[in-house]
Amino acid sequence: QKEVEQDPGPLSVPEGAIVSLNCTYSNSAFQYFMWYRQYSRKGPELLMYTYSSGNKEDGRFTAQVDKSSKYISLFIRDSQPSDSATYLCAMSDKGGSEKLVFGKGTKLTVNP
Amino acid sequence: DAGITQSPRHKVTETGTPVTLRCHQTENHRYMYWYRQDPGHGLRLIHYSYGVKDTDKGEVSDGYSVSRSKTEDFLLTLESATSSQTSVYFCATYDAGGYTFGSGTRLTVV
């Protein structure tokens, strides 16, 4: 079993839809959870950064972590065509200064 | 990407030749990383550095070496390039705000 599993999609939704992106993981030591957005031919950019379990909201984006189920989610409300990108989950057990383990990414297309 | 410059942006090289990719940062971050990104595999860590002359191996380090003689520069060397090393290579740095990635180097080994 891979340490981090992420459905690669692709996922196609109409503009304005609520999008749910998910990752599962096997290492119970992971405590730091991140979501990155990667536009085509660009480097990943940090979108959300959460520690341990709970929710974090930033504008149209909400990150959820359920450590008991080893499951993390990213919700995008009122999705826009500009949200079309690949979304990568990432996690670590040591505050981010050590190596991150990434999911393979989910490619999202938001259609106008 | 602010503060991180990767060079070259694109390179085509022949099998068996040595190749060096450069990552330059202006943020004075202690931690630096080299990742490769391939379809079906996502981002995988090659090597990382936690200070000048302090480096360690990542998940896919075979065939790669790194050097860090200055805080701002982290070099990745393919000693003898193979077709399996055709990939997009990303450099990243870390600080309290999280990871920042460069724009990537697209390497093709023919």
Which pLDDT value is given to residue B40?
A: 83
Cβ within 8 Å, pair B103-A45 = no
A43 → closest Cβ in B1, B44, B45 = B1
Contact (Cβ atoms closer than 8 angstroms) between residue A55 and residue A33: no
Q: What tens digit of pLDDT does each residue of B1-29 get?
A: 459 999 999 999 999 999 999 999 999 99
Rounded to a whole number of angstroms, the distance between the first and last alpha carbons of chain B is 29
pLDDT at B41: 86
Answer whether the bond into residue B8 is a cis peptide, omega within 30°. Answer: yes
Q: State the alpha helices, DSSP H only, in chain A.
A: none
The neighbouring-strand residues paired with B6 are B23
Cβ contact B94–A105 (<8 Å): no
What residues of chain A lie within 8 A of the CB of B101, using their CB?
A: 36, 43-45
Cβ of B94 and A96 within 8 Å?
yes
- Evaluate if residue A110 carries a pLDDT over 80: yes
- Is there a contact between B10 and B109 (Cβ–Cβ < 8 Å)? no
